[in-house]
Amino acid sequence: MGHMSEETGETGTGFVSRTGLSRVKNALLSANLLSNAIGVGVIIFLSATQGAPPEVGRLSRSVSVVFVPLAFLVPTVVSLFYERPLRRYWDAVYGKKPLSRNDMDRAHRRLLNEPYFLITVDMAMWLIAAGVYATVFHLSGIEGRFVVQALTYNLITGLITSTVAFFVLEFHLQRKVIPHAFPNGGLYLTSGTLRIRIRTRLTALFIAINLIPVSALLANVLSASPGHAVGALQFGMSMQALVFVGTAMWLTFFVSSNLTRPLHEIIRVLGYVRRGIFDERVKVTTNDEIGYTGDVINEMTQGLRERDFIKETFGKYVSAEIRDEILGGRISFDGEVRRVTVLFADLRDFTPMVERTDPKEVVGVLNGYSGKWRRRSASIMDWFSSI
């Protein structure tokens, strides 16, 4: 279901129900809240497995009661403010209302930049969390290693959560949102947007599943006191390792899915092109190298489709040989000398026949006559060539 903007002339994609509209509007916000909720769960789990004194646990819970709700409320309010142009765009799409070019471009920019905006907000909140917990612990006279531990856990969890959030957001963006906002592709044409390249994605994945876990384990060892029980330390590090392995598997799934889905789409369309079918289009959902490749393939198939249409249409008025010469650019407009054979023919009683015959039937007679002579002339030319 689509609509045509009266001001821009562009086709957008509507929604079957208000439920579908709500899912699209809130897809990124919901995914980001889920990622941060998992991050909060991770840090609570890690803190609980470190064998901290009871007073540290009580103080941590007291701070969490105040800080955690604010940590979710503030990003939500900021995100809703950021999404205002985008939500107006979705409402206009649902209501099939006209959109100005400026409003559409602004909404598209906000949409493509939203993952970067949200992970920036996420990382800022985790940095604040690290400062708040470490400061409260320090002012409360908590042992220094637990202050360092609180600071380290929040920073590391913030890095991992922000990385996971980005790939989760990208996953939902490609599958649930962009197909509605960019039904015809062309994401790379939207100016003022950030583009994350494939190399950057893989680098972020490497840091998230290798460097950050190793840094966390080293920080755990260095922050341990000399009298810290070896068994407790081993248990804590084992729990951390399980969390990091699970996170790595989750990240790998999202990164591989985000990369392979558009590649499979490109391969699907190229399979049709290989068979001479040019009606299929690549569903472009990214503005990186893969998305640009998909747009170029769509432009190529459109050109091939137009070429075939011209070739087929032009071939109805001239012979295939002349058509191919003209379309191949081998005809000189300055004139040239060629050895040709010209046949002048007349049909007996053609004028009376035209007067009493349906036009379609007349055209059929002429096509049959010209086809017969074309085949005969080809046979004669073949005979002369064989002499």
- pTM of the prediction? 0.74
- Going by pLDDT thresholds of 50, 70 and 90, the confidence category of residue 42 is confident
Tokens standing for 303? 């050109």
pLDDT band for 266, please (50, 70, 90 cuts).
Answer: very high
pLDDT for 132-151, tens place per residue?
888 888 888 887 777 887 78
pLDDT band, very low/low/confident/very high, at 282 (cuts 50, 70, 90): very high
Let me know: does 12 contact 93? Beta carbons within 8 Å: yes
Least trusted range by pLDDT, from 43-47, 98-102, 184-188, 250-254 = 43-47
Give pLDDT, residue 365: 79
d(CA 14, CA 30): 21
CA distance linking residue 293 with residue 356, whole number of Å? 58
The 10s digit of each residue's pLDDT in 47-100 is: 666 656 777 777 777 878 877 888 888 888 999 999 999 988 888 888 878 888
Query: What's the chain look like in SS3?
Result: CEEECCCCCCEEECCCCHHHHHHHHHHHHHHHHHHHHHHHHHHHHHHHCCCCCHHHHHHHHHHHHHHHHHHHHHHHHHHHHHCHHHHHHHHHHHCCCCCCHHHHHHHHHHHHHHHHHHHHHHHHHHHHHHHHHHHHHHHCCCCHHHHHHHHHHHHHHHHHHHHHHHHHHHHHHHHHHHHHHCCCCCHHHCCCCCCCCHHHHHHHHHHHHHHHHHHHHHHHHHCCCCCCCHHHHHHHHHHHHHHHHHHHHHHHHHHHHHHHHHHHHHHHHHHHHHCCCCCCCCCCCCCCHHHHHHHHHHHHHHHHHHHHHHHHHHCCCCCHHHHHHHHCCCCCCCCCCCCCCCCCCCCCCHHHHHHHCCHHHHHHHHHHHHHHHHHHHHHHHHHHHHC
Higher pLDDT, 225 or 339: 339
A 10 A CB-CB count for 276 gives 8
Average pLDDT value over all residues in the chain? 79
Q: What is the pLDDT of residue 110?
A: 92
Average pLDDT (216-233) is: 61
Mean per-residue pLDDT, 205-230: 68
Handedness of CA 315, 318, 319, 321 (dihedral sign): negative
